A and B are shown apart, each in its own frame.
Chain A
Amino acid sequence: MSEVFIQLAFRTSIIAFIVNIAIAMYGVYTRPSLIKKFICLIMFTDAINLFALFIGFRVVNNTYPKPPVLIREPVSPGELEEFKYIAVDPLPQALVLTAIVISLAVFMFVIGLILVYYEHYGTTSIKAMRSGGVEEVFE
């Protein structure tokens, strides 16, 4: 029973994030506002990061797994063997942590770029930028 339910839960999650990525791509391509494109880009990064974590998840003997942190300090060899057998994979977590930092750095730079665009063109809409000014579109 529990085994079956686990598979349903993670399949739902995977499909949900595939749909999330599709929605975010739709937003990046069709919405005219630069800020909205940027918000969709943030959603895209979140979905990718969560995807990477599913690689390392595991369920042993239908018990919920443990985080990759040892709890008690003097460890016995038996405890270490059990920890190795039941904890989730720490490698995707470390990579995703790095990815979050780098994406934050890139986001700050993109926000600066959007400010400069607005200062130059007077609008954040791509369509208005293409036609050369604000007045022609909105009047």
Chain B
Amino acid sequence: MIKRDVLVAFSLSLLVLSISLIIWLEGYIRIATPIISSLGESYLYYSYNPWYSNYTSFSLNVVSAIIWDYRGFDTFLETTVLMASIIAIYTLLRGFEEKVFLQPKGLSTITKTATKIVIPLIIAYALAIATHGQLTPGGGFQGGATLAVISSLIIAVYSLEFLYYMGYRSKRLVVIRGLCLIGLIIVAITPLLIGFILNTKSYIFQNMSKEDSFISMPSFLFDAPLAGSIFFYNVFELLIVFTGLTTALMLLSLRDVELKKAFEVREVYE
């Protein structure tokens, strides 16, 4: 970092400030007006609204309601994109092998002890934000990303060998991932199956009862809002994101000995 670069960067931010001052004095671009889109307003109004039971999803967190209820199919396809990227990394590194008993190289004892103290706290926090996704800010992806920080900490502090020692293998993680994706599909088509048995109308990704079908997922657990299928989706999404990110971290931190065969195989194909 040279002194000249810092000066140029500082003058760039001054340029930004001066341009915005000019625009402010001239009165162009109005942002933060009191009006938002009417679609957003209707989401805000109907997301937790016991008086309109055909439109509501009984979720106090509106973002979570949009992600899993009003736009559920969108999010399901996004989850499959995450799966597809893992498969793509597998295809790039095909032929690698995981060798378990290599010599582990970790950081110092102080760092390891501090990590040991931090890890249970992160696990508790991640589980809390994932299972309370319908009550407070949070949800499946947030919880999964927070849990994946644990595996990144373990790789950085204890080395990859410790993950193998705990029983993590990339193939097992992919199997868990596939099972959770199937679980998502099962939750999505449960209303359809119930409707088929009872011989009434019902929809895929249906959460609460609609005008022409009375089937609804459980909206309350004792006195806390469960928001129907949103809770189950959040739990499955937590596992999917955690295993997906952990698989990617493990694959990209493979040692040279393990990757040698992969690169040899590619030369044969070329």
Q: Are A73 and B32 in contact (CB under 8 A)?
A: no
**Contact mask B148-159 → A, CB, 8 Å, 1/0?**
000000000000
| Given A98-B75, A109-B88, CB of A69 within 8 Å of CB of B137 | yes
Interface stretch among A12-20, A32-40, A41-49, A125-133? A12-20
Q: Among A8, A68, A119, point to the contact of B263 (Cβ < 8 A).
A: A119
Confirm or deny: A91 has a beta carbon within 8 angstroms of a beta carbon on chain B: yes
Q: How many angstroms from the CA of A88 to the CA of B199 in the assembled complex?
A: 42
**Contact mask A51-68 → B, CB, 8 Å, 1/0?**
000101111110000011
Confirm or deny: B62 has a beta carbon within 8 angstroms of a beta carbon on chain A: yes
Confirm or deny: A11 has a beta carbon within 8 angstroms of a beta carbon on chain B: yes
Interface stretch among B40-48, B112-120, B169-177? B40-48
Query: Whose C-beta in chain A lies nearest to the C-beta of B45?
Result: A84
Q: Among A56, A84, A108, A119, point to the contact of B248 (Cβ < 8 A).
A: A108
Q: Among A6, A106, A113, point to the contact of B32 (Cβ < 8 A).
A: A6
* CB-based A-B contact count at 8 angstroms: 151
Q: Are B40 and A12 in contact (CB under 8 A)?
A: no
Query: Whose C-beta in chain B lies nearest to the C-beta of A94?
Result: B66
Cβ–Cβ < 8 Å partners of A97 in chain B: 63, 67, 141
Minimum distance in angstroms from A18 CB to a CB of chain B: 9
Q: How many angstroms from the CA of A138 to the CA of B66 in the assembled complex?
A: 54
Q: Are A102 and B35 in contact (CB under 8 A)?
A: no
| Given A16-B16, A89-B40, CB of A68 within 8 Å of CB of B78 | no
Minimum distance in angstroms from B173 CB to a CB of chain A: 14
Minimum distance in angstroms from A47 CB to a CB of chain B: 13
Confirm or deny: B121 has a beta carbon within 8 angstroms of a beta carbon on chain A: no
Confirm or deny: B19 has a beta carbon within 8 angstroms of a beta carbon on chain A: yes
Minimum distance in angstroms from B236 CB to a CB of chain A: 14
Q: Are B16 and A87 in contact (CB under 8 A)?
A: no
Is chain B's binding surface mostly helix, strand, loop or mixed? helix
Cβ–Cβ < 8 Å partners of B51 in chain A: 77
Q: Are A116 and B66 in contact (CB under 8 A)?
A: no
Confirm or deny: A1 has a beta carbon within 8 angstroms of a beta carbon on chain B: no
Q: Among B43, B44, B85, point to the contact of A106 (Cβ < 8 A).
A: B85
Minimum distance in angstroms from A61 CB to a CB of chain B: 8
Interface residues on B, range: 35 or more
Q: How many angstroms from the CA of A139 to the CA of B66 in the assembled complex?
A: 58
**Contact mask A84-127 → B, CB, 8 Å, 1/0?**
10011111011001100110111011011101100100000000
Residues 3-40 of B contacting A (Cβ, < 8 Å): 12-13, 15-17, 19-21, 23-24, 29-37, 39-40
Cβ–Cβ < 8 Å partners of B66 in chain A: 90-91, 94
Minimum distance in angstroms from A17 CB to a CB of chain B: 9
Query: Whose C-beta in chain B lies nearest to the C-beta of A108?
Result: B248
Cβ–Cβ < 8 Å partners of B47 in chain A: 70, 90
Q: Give me the interface of B with A, judged by CB distance under 8 Å.
A: 12-13, 15-17, 19-21, 23-24, 29-37, 39-41, 43-45, 47-51, 60-63, 66-67, 71, 74-75, 78, 81-82, 84-86, 88-89, 92-93, 136-137, 141, 224-225, 241, 244-245, 248, 251-252, 263, 266
Q: Apart from A68-B44, A97-B67, A109-B85, what are 7 other A-B pairs with CB-CB below 8 Å?
A: A19-B16, A68-B61, A83-B44, A84-B44, A91-B39, A94-B67, A98-B67
Q: Give me the interface of A with B, judged by CB distance under 8 Å.
A: 4, 6-8, 10-12, 14-16, 19, 23, 54, 56-61, 67-71, 73, 75, 77, 80, 83-84, 87-91, 93-94, 97-98, 101-102, 104-106, 108-109, 111-113, 115-116, 119
| 13 sample A-B contacts, Cβ–Cβ < 8 Å, listed by A number | A16-B20, A58-B34, A69-B61, A69-B63, A83-B45, A88-B36, A89-B40, A90-B44, A94-B66, A101-B81, A112-B89, A115-B92, A116-B266
